[in-house]
Amino acid sequence: MPFQKIIKWATSEMDEPDWEQKLALDFLDKCMELNPQNRISAAQALQHPFLSSAEEDEGLEDVFLT
């Protein structure tokens, strides 16, 4: 999943972001935290609900594989 596509999709303008976009923004916020002591680890990132939902939800594949 290229980060550029995640960022573009997660920050696209919508009247009300859907739950997948909210999870994506939360994931990005935690991964891109400037302070390394506050940033999530790789293991924590892999356990984030955004990645877990991506494995279960084929709809997300359409967003990132196009």
Site of tokens 């390394």: 36
Structural domain count, the chain:
1
DSSP state of 56: H
DSSP alpha helix (H) spans, the chain: 3-10, 19-31, 42-47, 49-56, 58-65
**Which domain covers residue 51, as residue numbers?**
3-9+18-65
The more confidently predicted of residues 43 and 55 is 43
Q: What is the pLDDT of residues 17-54, one digit of tens each?
A: 677 778 888 998 999 899 999 999 999 988 999 887 76
Evaluate whether 31 touches 39 at the Cβ level (below 8 Å): yes
Tokens of 18: 């859907």
pLDDT at 12 over 90: no
Instruction: Check residue 46 and give its pLDDT.
Output: 87
